[in-house]
Structure 1
Amino acid sequence: MTETCSRCGRNRDTVTDPAERLAWVSDRDRGVQTWLCHTCARAHVRDLEAKLPSEYW
C-alpha cells in the first residue's frame, strides 16, 4: 500500500531521510487510514492537538 499525504499528495516512498519518514502521521477514522507528511503534520499540528483527549492537557 502506498502512503500518500492527504493534504499535499507527497508519496512516502520518495522520502529518503529516516527521520522524515518517522515524522509522518497516520490517522484512522471509520476504518479509513490517511497520512500526513512531516511538513503538513508540522503545519497543521493544532488540528492534530485538537483531536487529543482532554487528559493529555
Structure 2
Amino acid sequence: MTDQQPVSCTQCGRVRDERGSAIDALAWMTERDRPGDAPRWLCPRCARAHVRDIEGKLPSEYW
C-alpha cells in the first residue's frame, strides 16, 4: 500500500486521510465510465452534491 498514490477527489482535490476511521473511508465513492478506465474518486461532500448526476449516469464533464 505504501507505493500507491493517495486517493484524492477529482472534483475538489480533497485528499482522503489514510489514518481516518473506517466509516470515513467507506463514504468515499469511486466510478469508471468504461471498463479499463482509471478510477475517479469523489469525497463524501462531492458525492452528495452530484448524486443525481451519478444516478442518471450523466457524463462527469457535464457536472
Question: Which residue of the partner structure matches residue 60 of structure 2?
Answer: none
Percent identity of equivalent pairs: 49
- What is the Cα deviation at residue 23 of structure 1? 1.1
Distance of aligned partners of 1:7 and 1:39 in 2 relative to their CA distance in 1, 3 Å threshold: same
Aligned residue runs from structure 1 range 26-41, under 5 A: 26-30=30-34, 31-41=37-47
What TM-score, normalized to structure 2?
0.66
Alignment: residue pair count: 51
Letter of the 1:42 partner, please give it: R
User: Is the helix fraction higher in 1 or 2?
Assistant: 1
Structure 1 ranges of 4+ moved more than 6 A: none
Unaligned 5+ segments in structure 1 are 52-57
User: Is the strand fraction higher in 1 or 2?
Assistant: 1
What TM-score, normalized to structure 1?
0.72
1:48 to 37, 41, 54: 54
